[in-house]
A and B are shown apart, each in its own frame.
Chain A
């Protein structure tokens, strides 16, 4: 018997060791990160992988000509800050090498721009530490930054924005905005987007009033879309401590000014998306889609943005970049944990991918994201490379199902959602979608169960109203006798209680001995 238990123990040990050693290896061969998303209570739950690494393209693979790599290698990219896709061409702001690099659809080097010269050759401006590149209607816009010294010997930043065509001919030079209401000491434009009518929306460092809007001719129009100042408890408490201890002694300084945005993006319809990286802004306002009045129109999904790493402590995300494709799928880059959140246009979180390690599919310092076809391209600043992620089968099915759901075709989408739920039984939106479909098909009882799983309270209430009606109609025959019986029992019961209490018909109170 002892021998038998010993053998069993050894076998169990072997099984445990084998499972811990072998299983993760097979999982890691697909992606170095775990798949997860969040339940309606904001808790991370296991989910299949949505996007898996396709390949990593370094500047050596791109055959980049000219420039110096970050480690000093020749022909490289040096701390690229931004990437923009225009049709089948990729534009990379090669910040450290003071140039814009153009790649074709296979990510092969085509050409670079180091300066824009006007057609008659009279004006020429160099591209100095470009922070952002934007292309619309064959016109390139580049944010350039230059440090100058004034007559007193103080350094100040004097940025400018160049626009030129694809041949490298200068269209227009946009300098520091000049207007009676604008007072900027250091002008450092970081991001620029341009709308259909040629207005420039500029995000500049330290400009808290919002985005600067310049018209086609470079005249200042107005500020736009600043984050709201939110009066938080932290601010109130800090104000109180300041009263008590004086101004100097407060170690943490939370400012009561609008927080700077960390990036902006303009989608095809001309809506501007903004991200904010610090946690002074409420979690559901760190990603915004702003309308012409500067108000947020995105349905907030606060859970996901502030959310925790899978099975780990809560960490505030630092949102670095956002990309929105033609169908409205939003991809947000979190710099802190080097991961990418994908939402649909109703801010339903679909998946999370990416992490910070050294394997294929990991990113050291993601600065820009774009989508080409169905693949996501993420620019890694430190290695000067582009990581490509492709969707899994699960993600493809999810996208189809989600499209039906967004368009309100619940019944048609039901079978796709059932397939998605086979992959991921934690996906609560799927249950809500099936519940809505069943509600449309008047299968109320089933619908109630699914809507409960999907945490959709409004639809649950609607289904309940219908189910109640149906139930009473079907059971009307014995409903009436039951009601009568209840009424009789109630009246009798009251009478019994009154008798027991001694308050029936006699007025004086009972006595206890």
Chain B
């Protein structure tokens, strides 16, 4: 009982310490909020600042990933009718999440696991921030491209493909730069570590699937034992 009251006291204190008025826009640090755009314009400088001057922010990285997730949901729902067969009923938020924000989570874990072994100098926090910020091109282009797709005809769809491809490769390039600077690698070693990271992501996925199926089977096992016991005791 005592622990519970202590916990309640602690959380009460935590809540009372939050300065709610700082959520108002006039207290926002605009410089910090638009700082991620600097990654787009001056990637080398920006990543050096993340590495050596602690310019990145974990909170902002979550906001960027959330923006990416929501913009990909928006893309699914609102993409030009002439290009897709998407339906609102068929939208799966989980699969949208897996194909956007979850990639960064898996990538960061795999990259951290592999680059620690490869003499990388990055911390997990740095890797996380750098890779979240590297998705900025996708965050910035998804919504404008979706709006553009509403006014383009099927014959002009190559523009969408072109811009989408540019955004994708821009992101890949940013990730390469981030990887190089955060871990202080040469380009060659950086590319090699990224290839290994892709493999690592697949291994992670495999582990997750294995774990899920194992838990499911274990749960089945317990359930069956419970049923057997019920049969035994009920006669």
Residues on A facing B (Cβ under 8 Å): 41, 452, 457-458, 460-462, 464-465, 468, 497, 500-503, 509-512
Contacts and interface: CB of A to CB of B under 8 A. Distances in A.
Nearest to A501: B38
B37 A497 contact: yes
A41 B90 CA distance: 11
B29 to A, nearest CB: 10
B151 interface: yes
Nearest to A498: B41
B55 A465 contact: no
B62 interface: no
Contacts of A452: 81
21 contacts: A41-B87, A452-B81, A457-B81, A457-B82, A460-B81, A461-B154, A462-B153, A468-B151, A500-B31, A500-B34, A501-B34, A501-B35, A501-B38, A503-B42, A509-B45, A509-B53, A510-B31, A512-B32, A512-B53, A512-B54, A512-B55
Interface in B174-233: none
B81 to A, nearest CB: 6
Nearest to B89: A41
Contacts of B4: none
Contacts, number: 47
Those 5 A-B pairs whose CB atoms lie nearest each other, nearest first = A461-B154, A461-B153, A461-B82, A465-B153, A457-B82
Contact of A501 (B37, B48, B83, B87): B37
Contacts of B153: 461-462, 464-465
B155 interface: yes
A302 B116 CA distance: 53
Contacts of A460: 81-82
Nearest to B49: A509
Most-contacted residue by chain B among A41, A457, A461 (CB, 10 A): A461
B31 A457 contact: no
Interface string B77-90: 00001110101000
B20 interface: no
A378 B47 CA distance: 76
Nearest to A40: B85
Contacts of A41: 85, 87
A150 B165 CA distance: 71
Contacts of A464: 82, 151, 153
Nearest to B46: A509
B27 to A, nearest CB: 16
A462 B34 CA distance: 40
A41 to B, nearest CB: 7
A509 B32 CA distance: 14
A510 B45 CA distance: 10
Given A461-B153, A465-B153, A468-B151, A501 B81 contact: no
Interface string B33-66: 0110110011001001100011100000000000
A461 B49 contact: no
B74 to A, nearest CB: 19
Contacts of B48: 509
A505 to B, nearest CB: 14
Contact of B155 (A461, A468, A510): A461
Given A509-B45, A510-B31, 4 more contacts: A461-B82, A461-B154, A497-B34, A501-B34
B120 to A, nearest CB: 24
Contacts of A468: 151
Interface string B116-130: 000000000000000
Which of B32, B41, B42, B81 has the most C-beta atoms of chain A within 10 angstroms of its own C-beta?
A: B81
B154 A458 contact: yes
Nearest to B84: A457
B172 to A, nearest CB: 24
Nearest to A511: B53
A41 B84 CA distance: 12
A231 B31 CA distance: 59
B42 to A, nearest CB: 7
A457 B34 contact: no
A46 B48 CA distance: 63
A464 B152 CA distance: 8
A509 B53 CA distance: 10
A458 B37 CA distance: 38
B165 to A, nearest CB: 21
A469 to B, nearest CB: 11
B77 to A, nearest CB: 14
Nearest to A467: B151
Contacts of B31: 500-502, 510
Looking at A468, A510, A511, the one whose CB has the most chain B CB atoms below 10 A away is A510
A315 to B, nearest CB: 22
A464 B34 CA distance: 36
B155 A500 contact: no
A501 B85 CA distance: 42
Interface in B81-131: 81-83, 85, 87
B87 A457 contact: no
A41 B83 CA distance: 15
